[in-house]
Amino acid sequence: MTHPSPDTWESAGHRRSVLWVVSLATLVMMFDGYDLVVYGTVLPILVDDPSQLGPLSAGHAGVLGSYALIGVMIGALLAGAVGDFVGRRRMMLINIAWFSIGMGLAALATDLTMFGLMRLFTGIGIGGLVATAIATVGDFAPAGKRNLYNAIVCSGVPIGGVLASLLAIVLRDAIGWRGMFWIGALPLITLLPLALVKLPESPRWLLARGRTARAAEVSARTGIPLPTADDTTTDTDTGKVGFAALATHQYRWGTLLLGMMSFVALLLSYGLNTWLPKIMENAGFDAKGSLSFLLVLNGGAVVGGLLASKVADSTGPQRVITTTFFLAALAMVLLTLGAPLPVLLIAVAVAGVGTIGTQVLIYGFVSGYYSTAARGAGVAWCAGFGRLGGILGPVIGGVLLAGGVSSQSAFYVFAVLAMIGGIVTFFVRNPSHSRTSPSASGLSGGGGVAPSTASHSLQ
């Protein structure tokens, strides 16, 4: 069988099937973004009105905001532990149902304890979805479009954030905070039936698990070409799959650094999405004005993340991620200078690119860094370990504000963390198998494999 080049389609069916996978994965990620932001949009109501769920201080609100992120970390790590064994499709379907039910149960909460437990439950489903969706796209995406398609899928996160911000501005006063959470439960009756019909299992994963006949059947039905034999071998022929592969020599150091990058990016993303409206309210903006900053933050991440991904497909993601981290640090500093509103909005948009947009790029980087046998676990590791940063983000913001620290000082703390993220990114090196795709090029800082000449054995 001949195989398509990195930038072409083997058939109309191949193109159609991949676009369905990308579309479904993007919708899944939108609800991750909706969940990320919806708590921040309703937080002022919960803090200001004790009759909703009970008295809620700023410090307690930060801890409560971290419950969903603890669940996301658990869910991502569980998906990494079992997803490379049981399949991408099955994990996706289970977790769509899981997080939808969790959102509905959170809407029914009658006190802070129940609300926190349901946020934890919801987070487990979302964590499984994030890890599985990104690994799935890594399996299906053509090599020369991997960063772009990953960016499209991961841009679902800030798009979901934009949706949550817009719905809060338009509907929150009418439907209340419970209505905002009921919206998050809609995938159970919309997205799940569509995924049951349109989401195929990955032929690449099936081959990696030795299910050759099933892989051939899926390939014939969907038009997705079967990869070459060495596309599906396990790392260095050790037979190691999943998390065990991450501990091998060629991945050990890179896995640690990629996890640290994700930790910083998600700490910044969740810290800003949780506390930016409250910080801006404290700075004198009214409720709707403060929510508008969330809209700009996530909108900047969508546009900037897609543009940056195009550059990453040409030059390699490492240089781009280093740059966006440092842009985030610069934007945080600008937010402390008392600039006029247009400059503040630009700075917030750039901060969105450098935080949420950077995490989009990191996921693309990760999915190209690992081979098929380790991809699900590698993505799950970064999503799971990174959520430790996401857990700390709301807590740090809550502690700073509860302690009377000024918003300027809080932004300086975030700026320093962004600079640390950029420095860590610089030290990631190519895994020792070094058969890189365009999505993994540029790993060595300046000496990556050129996209035009790289082989594609990791795809």
Delineate the domains of the chain, giving CATH numbers in brackets.
13-440 (1.20.1250.20)
Exposed/middle/buried for 188, CB within 10 Å: 0-12, 13-18, 19+? Answer: middle
pLDDT reported for residue 150:
80
User: ∠ CA(202), CA(203), CA(207), 5° rounding?
Assistant: 120
Name which of 244, 252, 250, 204 is nearest 374 in CA terms.
244
Report the interhelical angle of 372-402 vs 358-369 (nearest 10°).
Answer: 150
Give the tokens for residue 178.
């419970």
pLDDT reported for residue 234:
42
CA distances from 281 to 174, 288, 293 (A): 21, 9, 10
pTM recorded for the entire structure: 0.70
Per-residue DSSP letters for 49-62? Answer: -TTTTS---HHHHH
* Residue with tokens 């995938």, as numbered in its chain: 187
Q: Within a 13 Å sphere around the CA of 279, how many CA atoms are in the beta-carbon half?
A: 25
Q: Identify the three-state secondary structure at position 67.
A: helix
Q: Which residues contact 447 (CB under 8 A, 6 or more apart)?
A: none
Give the tokens for residue 350.
């750039």
Give the tokens for residue 457.
């054995």
Q: Which residues contact 24 (CB under 8 A, 6 or more apart)?
A: 92, 191, 194, 195, 198, 199
- Per-residue pLDDT of the chain (459 residues), as tens digits, is 444 444 567 778 888 888 898 999 999 888 878 887 888 888 888 888 888 888 888 778 877 877 887 888 888 888 877 776 777 888 889 999 999 999 999 999 999 989 999 999 998 998 888 888 887 887 787 766 777 788 788 778 778 888 888 888 888 888 988 999 999 999 999 999 999 998 888 887 788 777 888 888 888 888 887 775 544 444 444 456 667 778 778 788 888 899 999 999 989 988 887 777 777 776 666 656 666 787 888 888 888 888 888 888 778 888 999 999 999 999 988 888 877 888 888 998 999 999 988 988 898 788 778 876 777 788 888 878 887 887 788 778 777 777 776 777 778 888 999 999 999 999 988 775 444 444 444 444 333 333 333 333 322
Tell me the H-state helices in 224-353.
Answer: 243-246, 249-282, 287-315, 317-334, 341-352
pLDDT reported for residue 236:
43
